[in-house]
Amino acid sequence: MNTDYDFTAKIYDPILFFALKPIRIAVLNALLKYKEQTILDLCCGTGNQLKLLSKNGFKNLHCLDISDSMLKVAKNGACPMKIYNEDATKTSLKNESFDITMISFAIHEKDRATQKNLIEEAYRLIKKDGLLLIVDYAFDNKTTKLAKRGISIIERIAGKEHYDNFKNYIQNNGLSSLIKKDHFKLLKSNRKLLSGVTISTYQKIKNEA
Ligand SMILES: C[S@@+](CC[C@H](N)C(=O)[O-])C[C@H]1O[C@@H](n2cnc3c(N)ncnc32)[C@H](O)[C@@H]1O
């Protein structure tokens, strides 16, 4: 599908590669003990995170995005990963197909209903006791002023709708207001980029009802 990311796809990696590198490495480290497991990156963009995992011996990698242009970049580099061009809020993938699902820098830019649908879809796709890893912004008393300023500028450049959704996300306390306590248990979280970004790992709690 053609999306807002048609232009961004051309500049996303060249502009953000170095800023995102410590985060990509932290995610790699968080997942190292799960090399044999099946991993889905929802809203994978240019697939950079999975490419790094692939270089480090991960085998069962799946990458899903709605943007043709971002996925065109993801296909470069001949990394062995399965690519799906789909809407992450309503995929065609079967229930409980993945040990681990990650969503990186995609939740903050959505309206509230879409944020909830995205996390619900991840819940549906994760196996019993599997993991959800979310990388996204966190603004609180740990976040430095420099991080808040820099991130706000980047989000403003991304356009009005994107920026309005980002502001709502921050005002609503980010992830903590979106993750249902009867669906996921927080295992650990790690702050990066002057504490402006959180890498949070949750375990799926099976709802027996
Ligand atoms: C800011 S980029 C993040 C890309 C990547 N996860 C990363 O960490 O660099 C957000 C991505 O979400 C994708 N996206 C937005 N809405 C989507 C949807 N409903 N389904 C699938 N992908 C979506 C966009 O196409 C874009 O590639």
- Residue 106's domain is classified under what CATH number? 3.40.50.150
Residue 80 contacts residue 59 (beta carbons within 8 Å): yes
The owner of tokens 């009802």 is: 209
Does 105 sit in the ligand 1 pocket, CB within 6 Å?
Answer: yes
CB proximity list for 137: less than 8 A, separation 6 or greater: 108, 151, 166, 169, 170, 174, 196, 197, 198
Domain that holds residue 143: 5-204
C-alpha of 144 from chain center: 22
Atom of ligand 1 lying closest to residue 70 CA: 27
CA of 103 from ligand 1 middle (Å) equals 8
Q: Assess if residue 165 is contained within a domain.
A: yes
CB proximity list for 89: less than 8 A, separation 6 or greater: 114, 117, 118, 121
How many domains are there within the chain?
Answer: 1
Q: Assess if residue 209 is contained within a domain.
A: no
Q: Assess if residue 155 is contained within a domain.
A: yes
CA of 110 from ligand 1 middle (Å) equals 10
CB proximity list for 91: less than 8 A, separation 6 or greater: 64, 84, 121, 125
Residue 12 contacts residue 73 (beta carbons within 8 Å): yes
Q: What is the best residue among 7, 48, 65, 69 to mutate for testing ligand 1's pocket, by most ligand atoms within 8 Å of CB?
A: 65
Q: Assess if residue 80 is contained within a domain.
A: yes
Q: What is the pLDDT of residues 145-171, one digit of tens each?
A: 999 999 999 999 888 999 999 999 999
pLDDT at 207: 63
Q: Assess if residue 133 is contained within a domain.
A: yes
Q: Assess if residue 88 is contained within a domain.
A: yes
Query: Distance between CA atoms of 155 and 95, rounded to whole angstroms?
Result: 33
Q: Taking 60 as the threshold, does the pLDDT of residue 95 lie above it? A: yes
**What is the band of 11 on the pLDDT scale with cuts at 50, 70, 90?**
confident
Query: Distance between CA atoms of 149 and 127, rounded to whole angstroms?
Result: 38
- What average pLDDT does the chain have? 94
Atom of ligand 1 lying closest to residue 3 CA: 25
Residue 112 contacts residue 172 (beta carbons within 8 Å): yes
Arithmetic mean of pLDDT, 183-205: 96
